[in-house]
């Protein structure tokens, strides 16, 4: 959410930013918030003037009563009553207009960084860099669900009976690899100096609206019926929410945390739920990284964070690339974001396994997260990045480590989490 003062002083920039994101339908919101803000300031000014007059009149009443000028004192009391009645009307009107102002401000997108390429959707994202040489094996790499099935590692039929489409049972060695990758991701980030955390898996609505846009919320979040609680779509939500309405000491920045959680997503949209495999599902597990930092340090942290994910995947011999997300593919709170994509030897192309985002002070403004510095309090910047989201990372792992005979190699980094074994054989 932008600062209303910034919108007043940079109206053209705010409107141009909306155009760069191809959200022209939001342009009228800018003029609407300016009108509302003007009306609110006028109401506030009138209220302040009336409160000043009330204080002065109240003092006069005391003097009149002291001098036994009862009639004059009663007239002054009548004026105080008039002022109080008017203030009640003004305060109600100001409160209502503030609600309307906030409702519109929450929809106006954050100012995108100048380095972000202009584009309408994810088809116009720009490749930045490749890491590792993509390998095309001499044999045909099976579909990931078939690799899992050969390991007796997946049961979607039973999950369909218990939970419906978009759910799955991971079994045996496939489940073990999945857990090993999560554990390795946890230790990888701890070794980078991040604090490990397991957060709440449900959050209240005021936290949801503090960390994401309404469009994302409608497409992603599951609401608990009869409760003011939502299942998290990523642990970033509750990790950032941890600092809601808090003032942290500047000496504590940066705050770097890595969190494990299950994640739940409706996955509403054009992509839909994958029928056979587990690429797009309603439930998955994730190791996330979150940083709260000084404003001047956020872009440095952005570059560090995505590089950690690249380093993680390369340590498992999985080729990856980074894609700069274009303006039309950025969620409203983000100023800069990149996707990390893993190589699929079966499809002979890359697919998304994570995303790194800098939201500057958008989440902090919504949630009231500040730092106490030498020159006063200021809004912190927040960033988030996927270390690993399984089963997508599991898909990348299996495709890049399967052999022609159906066995799967276990890279050296994962062996301590797999009992030291170097290879998994298919089940007969």
Strands 195-197 and 255-264: parallel
Q: Of 15-19, 133-137, 262-266, 276-280, where does mean pLDDT reach its minimum? A: 276-280
Question: pLDDT, tens digit, for every residue of 2-36?
Answer: 999 999 999 999 999 999 999 999 999 999 999 99
Mean pLDDT of 169-179: 95
How far is the first Cα of the chain from the last one, in angstroms, to the nearest whole number? 56
Residues 6+ apart with CB under 8 A from 413: 184, 315, 316
* Cβ contact 370:386 at 8 Å: no
Other Cβ atoms within 10 Å of 175 Cβ, number:
16
Domains of the chain, each with CATH number or no CATH: 4-105 (1.10.287.40), 122-424 (3.30.930.10)
Confidence of residue 272 (pLDDT cuts 50, 70, 90): low
Give the C-alpha separation, 195 to 189, whole Å.
Answer: 8
Q: Determine the Cα angle at 108 with ends 376 and 12, to 5°.
A: 85
What phi and psi values does residue 162 have, to the nearest 5 degrees? -85, -35
Other Cβ atoms within 10 Å of 233 Cβ, number:
23
CA dihedral 121, 283, 221, 223 (to 10 degrees): 160
What phi and psi values does residue 338 have, to the nearest 5 degrees? -135, 145
Question: pLDDT, tens digit, for every residue of 133-164?
Answer: 999 999 999 999 999 999 999 999 999 999 99
Confidence of residue 270 (pLDDT cuts 50, 70, 90): low
pTM for this entry = 0.89
Give the C-alpha separation, 365 to 144, whole Å.
Answer: 42
Quick one: which of 109, 142, 149 has its CA closest to 7?
A: 109
């Amino acid at each position: 959410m932008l600062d209303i003062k910034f919108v007043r002083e940079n109206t053209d920039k705010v409107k141009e930013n909306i155009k760069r994101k191809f959200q022209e339908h939001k342009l009228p919101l800018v003029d609407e918030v300016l009108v509302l803000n003007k009306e609110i300031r006028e109401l506030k000014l009138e209220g302040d003037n009336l409160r000043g007059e009330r204080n002065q009149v109240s003092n006069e009443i005391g003097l009149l009563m002291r001098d036994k000028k009862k009639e004059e004192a009663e007239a002054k009391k009548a004026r105080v009553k008039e002022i109080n009645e008017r203030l009640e009307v003004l305060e109600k009107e100001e409160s209502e207009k503030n609600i309307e102002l906030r409702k519109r401000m929450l929809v106006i997108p954050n100012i995108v960084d100048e380095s972000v390429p202009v584009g309408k959707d994810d088809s116009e994202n720009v490749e930045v860099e490749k890491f590792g040489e993509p390998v095309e094996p001499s044999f045909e790499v099976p579909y990931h669900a078939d690799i899992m099935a050969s390991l007796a590692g997946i049961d979607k039929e039973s999950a369909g009976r218990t939970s419906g489409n978009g759910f799955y049972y991971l079994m045996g060695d496939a489940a073990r690899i999945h857990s090993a990758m999560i554990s390795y991701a946890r230790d990888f980030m701890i070794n980078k100096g991040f604090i490990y955390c397991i957060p709440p898996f449900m959050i209240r609505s005021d936290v949801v609206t503090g960390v994401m846009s309404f469009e994302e919320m409608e497409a992603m979040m599951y609401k608990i019926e009869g409760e003011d609680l939502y299942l998290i779509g990523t642990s970033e939500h509750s990790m950032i929410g941890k600092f809601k309405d808090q003032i942290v000491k500047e000496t504590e920045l940066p705050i770097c945390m890595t969190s494990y959680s299950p994640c739940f997503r409706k996955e509403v949209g054009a992509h839909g739920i994958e029928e056979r495999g587990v690429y797009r599902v309603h439930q998955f597990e994730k190791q996330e990284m979150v940083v709260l930092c000084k404003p001047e340090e956020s872009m440095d942290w952005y570059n560090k964070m995505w590089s950690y994910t690249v380093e993680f995947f390369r340590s498992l011999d999985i080729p990856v690339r980074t894609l700069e997300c274009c303006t039309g593919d950025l969620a409203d709170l983000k100023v800069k974001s990149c996707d990390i994509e893993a190589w699929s030897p079966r499809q002979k192309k890359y697919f998304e396994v994570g995303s790194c985002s800098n939201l500057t002070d958008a989440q902090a403004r919504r949630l009231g997260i500040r730092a106490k510095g030498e020159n006063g309090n200021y809004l912190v910047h927040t960033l988030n990045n996927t270390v690993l989201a399984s089963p997508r990372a599991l898909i990348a792992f299996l495709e890049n480590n399967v052999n022609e005979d159906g066995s799967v190699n276990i890279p050296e980094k994962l062996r301590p989490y797999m009992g030291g074994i170097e290879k998994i054989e298919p089940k007969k």
